[in-house]
A and B are shown apart, each in its own frame.
Chain A
Amino acid sequence: MATEVVTNGSGGPDARSVFGPPRRRLGEKAIAVVLFCAAVTSVVITVGIVASLAGETITFFADKAVTVGGFFTSSEWSPLFSDPQFGIRPLVQATLIISAIALLVAIPLGIGTAAFLSEYASPRVRAAIKPTLELLAGVPTVVFGYFALTYFTPTVLNGLLGLDVAVFNGLAGGLIVGILIVPTIASVAQDAMTAVPQSLREGAYGLGASRRQVTVRVVIPAALSGVTAGIVLGASRAVGETMVVLIAAGQLPTTSLDPRSPMETMTAFIGATGKGDVPTGSTGYKAIFAVGFALFLMTLILNTISIRFVRRYRQVYE
């Protein structure tokens, strides 16, 4: 590194008078170490997460009442009752159903928004819509939960659409989570579409394609990696979403596939049980960790897939 002192022989100020004597070797090393420790904190945090989750999960499985097979296959989840059952299937099922509904909503909305912003919108329209989407992304999820419970279920689902859902239901949860993740999908997809080289579009225009055909047959397929990355990222967010489902989807672990009834997701279980302040060491406490660990693994896998896709689409054009 450039630590040699440059002395100026012809009368200009020399570095020594500007920066002082170079007596900082030890200080430099110390600073480097301090900064390294700061960065390592992030590793410590990850280790902490995995350790706390994994450790208690192992203790959880060691408990007499829990069997590994039963955990994955049993369809009853009642960990806090006198004869507790620990089948995680109802929780995972609810998480998947609600995430699926969310994606069903968010994928068309997200890709449509991205295509509109990238290919059709004028800079002024874009300047108006982008911040509004960022605003949507910045609204706290508890607000969406409130909206789902007090307005969406009674007025839209029961009133407007006449669906006859219970006050706590998976459908409201899924639809609102879908709206919630639209900015995520839209922004990643839009970046991917904008990154498609203009030459591809111009080639298609040159062949007589309309803008629609360019968008649908050239841009979106070319941006597919990025769009998929956005979708997977959105899925990860949907799986990890807590407040909307806690407030609006209810706390009934069920194997019913009907989204009009209440259903408890993995995140809702953690939130509801943690709020009750279960004592350390009880089976309920350990169940939080087991479910949390499963949740962590799910989002980790989804996130890794998403990063791979991002890397892939970046490489194609750089």
Chain B
Amino acid sequence: MTTASARPARDVLGKPSSSHRLRDRLFVIMLALLTSVALIVLAVLLINTASDGVPEISWSFLTSFPSAFPAKAGIESAITGTLWLMGVVTFVIVPLGVASALYLEEYADSSRWWNRVIEVNIQNLAAVPSIVYGILGLAYIVRGPLSLGRTVLAGGLTLSLVVLPVVIITAREALRAVPPSIKEGALALGATRWQAIWRQILPASIPGIATGVILSIARAIGETAPLILVGAATFVAFNPTGLNSAFTALPLQIFSWVSQPSDQFRLLAAAAIIVLLVILVALNAVAIWLRNRYQQRW
């Protein structure tokens, strides 16, 4: 492609000179600075919140209920509410997400228009703002056809809607990562399609799927906007008694305390944030550990 009459580098890129070297150096510095801004903000956020919140964390904070007195207030109902929601979400997204992914990867003929519709659909759903899912939950789950009221089940179902598309997408990638030779070997030995899936492909892709599920749960835990529309009254000072119970959750409690002008409640909000972040880091660590431990080299 270079010929004798090609334009020399000098014409294309300009004269290399010391000013260029200066510019090169400044450029790297600028990029490093840009990169560090977001990281610095994160650090300031964490340090600030921790310095406010960590002193407030105590066993009694973790085992008390919300109260009008900051000194007595705690997050027990928020923690148990979050755990209950996590349970409902897991119960819904694992079968539904894996089944949908299995269908799309193993059974769907991508030349059929309806399968393409489903695929595009899932991609769009993954990008819908979570508050729109809250509206959906309010209209159809809390009220409307399901009329569950502001209960744990309603909250869990709404959160499942938010993360289901992501679970489907990650599960699909996990299934896709299993080499076709595994499946073809099983089929060649006379297995039916389902047997091949159930006994070979699915087991091989479980670590990937589990990682996706755990990350989705981590995301669901932090979602506040849908719960605002679907969640219960301000003051819930008891642990959920069942799926039909009113509930509160960590993000809701944080939001409620942030809205209070008293500085004392702000500190409590910071403490609740730290607890929430610890839970999230733990979940992410489990997911990463799973991914590293069980990642198979084909």
Of A32, A48, A109, A243, chain B has the most CB atoms within 10 Å of the CB of: A243
B258 touches A150 (CB 8 A): yes
Q: Which residues of A contact B107 (CB under 8 A)?
A: 32, 35-36
Shortest Cβ distance from B10 into chain A, in angstroms? 8
Shortest Cβ distance from A232 into chain B, in angstroms? 10
A136 touches B38 (CB 8 A): yes
A243 touches B24 (CB 8 A): no
Given the known inter-chain contacts A112-B35, A149-B258, please indicate yes or no for A143 contacting B277, CB distance below 8 A: yes
A215 and B24 alpha carbons, distance in the complex (Å): 11
Of B132, B189, B223, B254, chain A has the most CB atoms within 10 Å of the CB of: B132
B191 touches A213 (CB 8 A): no
B194 touches A183 (CB 8 A): no
Count chain B residues whose beta carbon lies closer than 8 angstroms to a beta carbon of A. Answer: 94
B132 touches A143 (CB 8 A): no
Q: Which residues of B contact A146 (CB under 8 A)?
A: 49, 254, 258, 269-270, 273
Given the known inter-chain contacts A112-B35, A182-B38, please indicate yes or no for A271 contacting B48, CB distance below 8 A: no
Given the known inter-chain contacts A35-B103, A213-B13, A241-B129, please indicate yes or no for A136 contacting B42, CB distance below 8 A: yes
A31 and B194 alpha carbons, distance in the complex (Å): 8
Q: Assess whether B83 is interfacial by the CB under 8 Å rule.
A: no
Q: Which residues of B contact A182 (CB under 8 A)?
A: 38
**Cross-interface CB contact of B228 among A31, A42, A116, A271, cutoff 8 Å:** A271
Shortest Cβ distance from A65 into chain B, in angstroms? 21
B30 touches A1 (CB 8 A): no
Contact with B along A65-78 (1 / 0, CB 8 A): 00000000000000
A42 touches B122 (CB 8 A): yes
Q: From B55-63, B133-141, B235-243, give the one contacting chain A.
A: B133-141
Q: Which residues of A contact B35 (CB under 8 A)?
A: 109, 112-113, 116-117, 129
Count chain A residues whose beta carbon lies closer than 8 angstroms to a beta carbon of B. Answer: 101
Q: Assess whether B72 is interfacial by the CB under 8 Å rule.
A: no
B118 touches A140 (CB 8 A): no
Q: Assess whether A300 is interfacial by the CB under 8 Å rule.
A: yes
Q: Which residues of A contact B38 (CB under 8 A)?
A: 109, 113, 133, 136, 179, 182-183, 186
Q: Assess whether B212 is interfacial by the CB under 8 Å rule.
A: no
Q: Which residues of B contact A104 (CB under 8 A)?
A: none
Q: Which residues of B contact A233 (CB under 8 A)?
A: 127
Shortest Cβ distance from B28 into chain A, in angstroms? 6
Q: Which residues of A contact B100 (CB under 8 A)?
A: 35, 38-39, 41-42
B135 touches A275 (CB 8 A): no
Shortest Cβ distance from A180 into chain B, in angstroms? 9
Q: Which of B37-79 contact A (CB under 8 A)?
A: 37-39, 41-42, 44-45, 48-49
Q: Which residues of B contact A275 (CB under 8 A)?
A: 228-229
Q: Which residue of A lies closest to B41 (CB)?
A: A179
Q: Which residues of B contact A141 (CB under 8 A)?
A: 222, 224-225
Q: Which residues of B contact A140 (CB under 8 A)?
A: 221-224, 251, 276, 280
Q: Which residues of B contact A296 (CB under 8 A)?
A: 128-129, 132
- 16 extra A-B contacts, CB within 8 A, seeds A39-B99, A267-B131: A32-B107, A35-B103, A36-B103, A39-B103, A116-B31, A116-B34, A143-B45, A145-B258, A146-B270, A208-B13, A208-B16, A212-B24, A240-B128, A247-B258, A271-B229, A274-B138
Given the known inter-chain contacts A43-B117, A243-B255, please indicate yes or no for A53 contacting B165, CB distance below 8 A: no
Q: Which residues of B contact A243 (CB under 8 A)?
A: 224-225, 255
Q: Which residues of B contact A112 (CB under 8 A)?
A: 30-31, 33-35
Shortest Cβ distance from B173 into chain A, in angstroms? 14
Q: Which residue of B lies closest to A132 (CB)?
A: B39
B276 touches A39 (CB 8 A): no
Q: Which residues of A contact B228 (CB under 8 A)?
A: 271, 274-275
A1 touches B135 (CB 8 A): no
Given the known inter-chain contacts A32-B107, A243-B225, A271-B225, please indicate yes or no for A151 contacting B118, CB distance below 8 A: no
Q: Which residues of A contact B219 (CB under 8 A)?
A: 138
Q: Assess whether A193 is interfacial by the CB under 8 Å rule.
A: no
Shortest Cβ distance from B23 into chain A, in angstroms? 6
